[in-house]
Structure 1
Amino acid sequence: MKLNRRILLSACAAAAWVALPAQSAERWNMSAEQPDGNYITGVAKSFAEDVAKATKGELEIKVHSNSVLFKRPELKRAVQTGQVPIGDVLVSVLGNEDPIYEVDAVPLLATDFDAAWKLWQASKPAMEQRLAKQGIKLLYSVPWPPQGIYTKVPVKSTADFKGMKFRAYNAATSRLVELMGASPTTVNSGDVPQAFGTGLIEAMITSPATGVDSQAWDFSKYYYDVQAFIPKNVTIMNARAFARLSPASQKAVMEAAAAAEKRGWEEARKQTATLTQTLAKNGMVVGKTPPALGADLEKIGATMADEWLKKAGADGKAVLDAARR
């Protein structure tokens, strides 16, 4: 019987850390969501290099980009069960498990990097606790650039989106699209060009990084820099795999993770303007938020914040209170 390539890869990934005795050299595979050219994958590779150097080869991590090991919906479970010891994932896609995970996808709650960092510091302990109960260690986060809207036609307000087939990538963006009057359609980032080309979607909200990765200028014309929210990818590790490492290697991993987070947030700030300029250089019409659309989004953001607080309860209120201090 011919085995699926991903099953073979994940089996190898698990074997790389299960089969070796404690304190011997470990060879791990890491599942990274984004393609090699994306800065989030670049941060992951630098993290792996730092770990190998600091542990003097006791732990070596090979980064597999573009979700070739596990797709986004599969990643957390794969890490939890040890199919792969480490990987990164867009944290808001875990919102179906617990609303705490999707706080960074509430529109207009944190629209610049300073506010997003405060929100991350406020929400990180709650996320760490939840993941730890499932045998997962949270290592570091890397933010995306602020989210903007891509369309084929010019728009002025949410009325222009009525009935439009609009890409969503998690529960929060699906709700946002519904409140905008459009029709949400879930499409993975790698499938965006084909989805636009076949008419499956006509618009999307995503970062300039995804726009450049997918060469959005080939299928859309307008980019509105609405800066709706700043989502994050988080890198997570199987807690049992971490426990198998020597104390010195554990320390090295955590120090490398802290350095990766610092590097990732700095890189996101630098990349945002460059990536937005790349969209314009390739012929897209890049503009600010139209006033009427901005007013509509403010109302939607307030609605979604109220809905999120009702779901998240006291823990959610504590996160927002801490972020707003």
Structure 2
Amino acid sequence: MMKKLLLTAGMMTAVALGAANAVAQTPLRVAGNFSQNTKHVDIERAFFDGLGAATGIDLGMNYNPMDVVGVKAPDALRMLRGGSFDVMSVQIGMASRDDPFFEGVDLIGVSTDMAALRKVVDAYRSVFDKRLEEKFNAKVLTLWPFGPQVFYCNSPIKTLADLKGLKVRSFTPSMSAMLEHFGATPVTLQFSEVYPALQRGVVSCGVTSPTSGNTGNWPEVTKFFLPLSVSGSVQGHFINLDKWNSFSPEQQASLTAAFKQLEDQLWGLAVTSNDDAMACNTGAEACSGHKKFDMTMVEITPEDQAKVKEAAEQVVLPIWRDTCNTVDPTCSATWNETAGAAAGLTIQ
């Protein structure tokens, strides 16, 4: 009888300890990037798997790529505000349809190289974060780019003029404005929808980074590669503000430091991996870290570079100004003082 009592007491203690440990854990529901972006998902998964150990916080981690859990990129900000997830990897250009202010971090044609883009992102970060907290009850953890946004096409192209009459995948309002300026028809698609759209001829071209296009196997369904950058496709990891406020100041500091390391790693990927992806897309001998394909490389002309800048100043910025100022009369003035000052541009 005594043995039974001791055994029962031990079992009850183990159950109690297990329950206490379960309660001690802070659950974190994370919707990550699209699963087709394998390099980014691998980085995210490793980061979130190790986040508890890195911060000393007892986290109950539940990480899944957004397409695996059925998340649509344009819905991310509303899902964060509603608490569907605690942390989300957000494609800002698509989510900005809920508030054009956010697209100001990466307007098409404003920053076409990664060094210039980082200055703009850093300048816009604080006002971006403030608006995110006010409008969507969320906070910025990271802001980073996929890399230079370039063209993958089925139809033969030699210059931007050849986009006229073609249907081209777009994922931000300002990109759509630029494509229309060049005579193309923009078709808004999230990343996971582009491969089948190119395969079926729904669109003739897609715009993404060399790395994303390569890991997403776009060269299987396209032939011509124009590495003319029009933006950086800035993304972010955002956390629901209620979840953020549930952490102590010390835990918040640990999380901030950890996510800064993730941000730097993703910036590094954008800077270093895209040259190799371009080499691999076109079957060059220098290809080493990506899948090797045989796309035709289209030479970038100075005239096309000038056309992108012209489109930004004459079309993209005025359209965004009018759209954003309708929502917030101080929108373009705020942009001029932050991102615009960093980019050397002023919206009139």
- Whether the aligned pair in 1 keeps the contact of 2:86 and 2:240 (CA below 8 Å) is yes
Using a 3 Å threshold, how does the CA distance of structure 1 residues 242 and 106 change in structure 2: closer, same or farther? closer
Question: Matched residue of 1:156: which SS?
Answer: coil
Aligned counterparts, 1:138-157, within 5 A: 138-157=140-159
Q: 1:24 to 1:247 in 2, by over 3 A?
A: farther
One-letter code aligned to 1:29: R
In structure 2, what is the Cα distance between the partners aligned to 1:33 and 1:231? 13
Asked if residue 229 in structure 1 is aligned to residue 248 in structure 2, the reply is no
Normalising by structure 1, report the TM-score.
0.86
* 1: CA distance, partners of 2:160 / 2:118: 29
Q: Work out whether residues 74 and 96 of structure 2, in 8 Å CA contact, stay in contact via their aligned partners in 1.
A: no
CA distance in 2, matches of 1:185, 1:40: 25
Q: In the alignment, what sits opposite 1:181? A: 183
After superposition, the C-alpha distances for 1:239-289 in whole angstroms (9 at most, x for unaligned) are: 111222234322221111111111111121111112112211200112332
What's the RMSD between the two structures over aligned residues?
2.4
Q: 1:118 maps to which residue?
A: 119
The 5 A counterparts of 1:1-325 are 24-35=24-35, 38-56=38-56, 58-69=58-69, 70-133=71-134, 134-281=136-283, 282-303=293-314, 304-310=316-322, 311=324, 312-324=331-343
Q: Matched residue of 2:282: which SS?
A: helix
Distance 2:99 2:28 in 1: 29
Contact kept, 8 Å, 1:91 with 1:234, in 2: the verdict is yes
* In 1, Cα distance between equivalents of 2:37 and 2:313: 35
Cα distance change, pair 173–324 in 1 and its aligned pair in 2 (3 A) = closer
Instruction: Confirm or deny: 8 A CA contact 1:36 1:65 kept in the other structure.
Output: no
* Inter-partner Cα distance in structure 2 for 1:268 and 1:223: 18
CA contact (8 A) 1:104 1:229 kept: no
Unaligned runs of 5+ in 1: 1-19
Taking the aligned partners of 2:338 and 2:192, their CA distance within structure 1 comes to 32
Cα 1:248–1:240, aligned 2, differ >3 Å: closer, same or farther?
same
Q: Which residue of 2 aligns with 1:5?
A: none
Using the alignment, how far apart are the partners of 1:46 and 1:83 within structure 2?
22
Q: 1:66 to 1:213 in 2, by over 3 A?
A: farther
1:201 is paired with a residue of what secondary structure?
Answer: coil
Unaligned runs of 5+ in 2: 1-19, 284-292, 325-330
**Residues 36 and 216 of structure 2 are in contact (CA less than 8 Å); yes or no, is this contact kept in structure 1?**
no
Please tell me whether Structure 1 or Structure 2 has the larger radius of gyration of its CA atoms: 2
One-letter amino acid of the structure 1 residue matched with residue 265 of structure 2: R
2:110 alignment partner, SS class: coil
For the Cα contact (< 8 Å) 1:79–1:238, is it kept in 2? yes
Contact 1:22 1:244 in 2 (8 A): no
Higher relative contact order (CA 8 A, sep 6+): 1
CA deviation after TM superposition for structure 1 residue 169, in Å: 1.5
Q: Deviations 1:61-112 (Å, cap 9, x if unpaired)?
A: 3321152222212222111111111111111223333333112442331111
Q: 1:321 to 1:71 in 2, by over 3 A?
A: closer
Offset of residue 315 of structure 1: 0.9
Moved more, 314-323 or 251-260: 314-323
Distance 1:59 1:298, change over 3 A: same
Q: What is the alpha-carbon distance in structure 1 between the residues aligned to residue 106 and residue 194 of structure 2?
A: 20
Q: Partner of 1:319: helix, strand, or coil?
A: helix
For normalisation by structure 2, the TM-score amounts to: 0.81
Separation of aligned partners in 1, 2:100 and 2:171: 16
Distance 2:144 2:43 in 1: 8
